[in-house]
């Protein structure tokens, strides 16, 4: 690791500092300070109803008393199986106040995956709501013995909506009854900032999902890092922001940047159950949203929406993309159509997920993931020797250090040991740093294609294909090739009214953008492309198809 000043410090925007103080606290303390500071101001807007900071503090306190009465405190794990609903922050902060760990389950997980996460986390209490298929799945897990108790938050608590009836049966309890008349202890357990607050499971695209152990200090340090970065550049105004909360709160990106950060700064979250282009446009124009943290698939949908160039973005101060690499052409098209810069960055579950971001008015460097956020140290190390740091311009593995970085993987000591070199975490991403301290990712180590002895990076090919005017979305994976060992195959969905094109046409289009060894050897059009449980485009399923 180089010594200070780091190369990226000279690339910081005026007003922002890499060495800004990074504050750490606990999850209960974060909420309690916000309630004391912001009181009756709205913290969540959901289905036309405002929930104040005082309301949220009271609901979380009642939930905490219910968890405490049920014996769920320090050493216990509470599983949250929830979509975007106020029940999530109520249960999240309530469990944390009681001293329990939280394990997030995705509503999109298959039963087998849910059972694995429950068993691995040792959670015997599951919190869900009677919305959609969630309660039926929770009851299946109860019947299978995966949990002992299902606590059901009544969806009707937050306004009219179609919901599933809650059965009257052993092991099932309504949240209202769970918390009713529960008495708080004389003093709540006070967690240490180094205690594990959250088991956040990784996607498991290359194996069994593992729970990243994120401490109270990890999560609140990440909040502080984002605060220093955004407020230093004038992109966020404490107490004034109205943030579109459509990303799932069970995902680390939304948990930190939407739930925890906005509560910490006294802002209002426009909480939405799912992404809908028309609703998002209404939030921008009518609800006067100031910030929208999204993922590339959402920005692609917005950029492709008819009339997007007529939408009034004047109230927006920050359009951010995370969760997956942002195609360069999507960012260009969005800025061209709306006049607003779309900034991306890099992070991962294991970094809570603070990592890098693009300075708002920084230099144009196509394909960059930006520079490290305040307090985050990044370097590039040799692929065959993760203890050897590489100079600018050389390709290797990204390595990260910071107060936001996980302690390791729950129940997986060998994987934890393999992921660290000292106190620096090996990310599995392959890239390089330029002389200005900007980082570039060429791909994940696991996604790299070795074609005729050359390293070929699918993401670089995808970025080039996205420049084609007919392409809506694309993924590239390696497929067996008798001559080269592996070759690149492109899977493409077309934009509305676009005509299919041949592989030769595509290769001609890419001729000045890619090397010969990077050219796709095959092309397949699809109506849709596979996604992970949190909505990111996923190569894993296509890789399995290509290599039976």
Q: pLDDT for 100-150, tens place per residue? A: 999 999 888 888 889 999 999 999 999 999 999 999 999 999 999 999 999
Q: Kindly state whether residues 378 and 497 are assigned to the same domain.
A: no
Q: Kindly state whether residues 244 and 293 are assigned to the same domain.
A: yes
The pLDDT of 490-510, averaged and rounded, is 96
Q: Is residue 408 part of a domain?
A: no
Q: Is residue 116 part of a domain?
A: yes
Residue 451 has pLDDT above 90, yes or no: no
Q: Is residue 419 part of a domain?
A: no
Q: Is residue 535 part of a domain?
A: yes
Q: What is the pLDDT of residues 43-55, one digit of tens each?
A: 999 999 999 999 9
Q: Kindly state whether residues 258 and 126 are assigned to the same domain.
A: no
Q: Kindly state whether residues 100 and 247 are assigned to the same domain.
A: no
Query: How much is the pLDDT for 270?
Result: 99
The pLDDT of 479-492, averaged and rounded, is 86
Q: Kindly state whether residues 114 and 255 are assigned to the same domain.
A: no
Of 191, 206, 229, the residue that ends a domain is 191
Q: What is the pLDDT of residues 240-263, one digit of tens each?
A: 999 999 999 999 999 999 999 999
Of 390, 416, 443, the residue that ends a domain is 443
Q: Kindly state whether residues 233 and 349 are assigned to the same domain.
A: yes
Portion of the chain with pLDDT greater than 90, in percent: 76
Q: Kindly state whether residues 390 and 470 are assigned to the same domain.
A: no
Q: Kindly state whether residues 439 and 458 are assigned to the same domain.
A: no
Q: Is residue 19 part of a domain?
A: no
Please choose, from the candidates 340, 346, 358, 252, the residue with its C-alpha nearest in 3D space to the C-alpha of residue 299: 340
Q: Prior bond to 283 cis, omega within 30?
A: no
Q: What is the CATH number of the domain that holds 532?
A: 3.30.300.30
Q: Kindly state whether residues 431 and 473 are assigned to the same domain.
A: no
Please choose, from the candidates 427, 255, 434, 430, the residue with its C-alpha nearest in 3D space to the C-alpha of residue 350: 427
The pLDDT of 224-252, averaged and rounded, is 96
DSSP states of 139-153: HHHHHTTS-SEEEEE
Q: Kindly state whether residues 35 and 95 are assigned to the same domain.
A: yes
**How many domains, the chain?**
3
Give 494's strand partners: 471
Q: What is the CATH number of the domain that holds 293?
A: 3.40.50.12780
Can you give the residue range of the structural domain that contains 146? 27-191
Q: Kindly state whether residues 156 and 247 are assigned to the same domain.
A: no
Q: Is residue 316 part of a domain?
A: yes
**Of 160 and 78, the one with more pLDDT:** 78
Cα torsion angle, 86, 89, 91, 93, sign: negative
Distance from C-alpha of 110 to C-alpha of 196, rounded to nearest angstrom: 26
Q: Is residue 277 part of a domain?
A: yes
Q: Is residue 104 part of a domain?
A: yes
Residues whose CB falls within 8 Å of the CB of residue 186, separated by 6 or more in sequence, listed in order = none
Q: What is the CATH number of the domain that holds 89?
A: 3.40.50.980
The pLDDT of 193-201, averaged and rounded, is 98
Q: Kindly state whether residues 38 and 152 are assigned to the same domain.
A: yes
């Amino acid at each position: 690791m180089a010594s200070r000043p780091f190369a990226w410090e000279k690339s910081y925007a005026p007003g922002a500092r890499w060495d800004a103080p990074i504050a750490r606290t606990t999850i209960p303390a974060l909420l309690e300070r916000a309630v004391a500071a912001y009181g009756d101001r709205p913290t969540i807007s959901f289905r036309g109803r405002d929930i104040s900071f005082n309301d949220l503090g009271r609901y979380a306190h009642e939930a905490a008393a219910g968890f405490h009465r049920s014996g769920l405190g320090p050493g216990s794990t509470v599983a949250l199986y929830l979509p975007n609903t106020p029940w999530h922050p109520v249960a999240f902060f309530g469990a944390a106040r009681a001293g329990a760990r939280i394990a997030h389950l995705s509503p999109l997980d298959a039963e087998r995956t849910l059972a694995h996460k429950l068993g691995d986390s040792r959670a015997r209490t599951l919190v869900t709501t009677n919305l959609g298929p969630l309660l039926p799945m929770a009851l299946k897990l109860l019947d299978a013995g995966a949990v002992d108790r299902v606590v059901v938050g009544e969806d009707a608590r937050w306004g009219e909506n179609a919901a599933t009836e809650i059965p009257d049966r052993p092991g099932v309890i309504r949240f209202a009854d769970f918390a009713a008349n529960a008495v708080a202890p004389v003093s709540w357990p006070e967690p240490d900032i180094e205690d594990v607050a959250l088991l956040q499971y990784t996607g498991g695209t290359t194996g069994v999902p593992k729970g990243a152990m994120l401490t109270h200090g990890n999560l609140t340090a990440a909040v502080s890092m984002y605060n220093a970065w955004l407020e230093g550049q004038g992109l966020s105004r404490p107490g004034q922001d109205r943030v579109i909360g459509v990303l799932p709160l069970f995902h680390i990106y939304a948990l930190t940047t939407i739930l925890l950060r906005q509560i910490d700064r006294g802002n209002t979250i426009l909480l939405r159950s799912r992404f809908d282009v028309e609703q998002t446009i209404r939030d921008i124009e009518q609800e006067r949203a100031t910030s929208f943290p999204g993922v590339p698939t959402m920005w692609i949908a917005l950029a492709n929406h008819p009339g997007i160039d007529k939408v009034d973005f004047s109230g927006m101060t920050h359009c951010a993309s995370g969760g997956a690499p942002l195609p360069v052409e999507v960012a260009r098209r969005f800025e061209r159509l709306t006049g607003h810069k779309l900034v991306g960055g890099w992070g991962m579950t294991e970094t809570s997920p603070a990592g890098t971001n693009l300075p708002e008015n920084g230099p144009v460097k196509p394909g960059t993931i930006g520079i490290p956020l305040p307090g985050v140290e990044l370097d590039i190390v040799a692929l065959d020797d993760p203890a050897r740091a590489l100079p600018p311009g050389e390709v290797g593995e990204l390595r990260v250090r910071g107060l936001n970085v996980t302690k390791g993987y729950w129940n997986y000591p060998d994987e934890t040991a393999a992921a660290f070199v000292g106190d620096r975490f090996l990310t599995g991403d392959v890239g390089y740093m330029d002389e200005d301290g900007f980082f570039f990712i060429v791909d994940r180590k696991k996604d790299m294609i070795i074609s005729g002895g050359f390293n070929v990076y699918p993401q670089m090919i995808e970025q080039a294909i996205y420049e084609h005017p007919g392409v809506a979305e694309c993924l590239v994976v390696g497929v067996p090739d008798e001559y080269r060992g592996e070759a690149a195959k492109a899977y493409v969905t077309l934009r509305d009214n676009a005509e299919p094109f041949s592989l030769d046409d595509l290769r001609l289009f890419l001729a000045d953008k890619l090397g010969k060894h990077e050219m796709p050897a095959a092309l397949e059009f699809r109506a849709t492309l596979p996604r992970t449980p949190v909505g990111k485009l996923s190569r894993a399923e296509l890789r399995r198809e290509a290599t039976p």
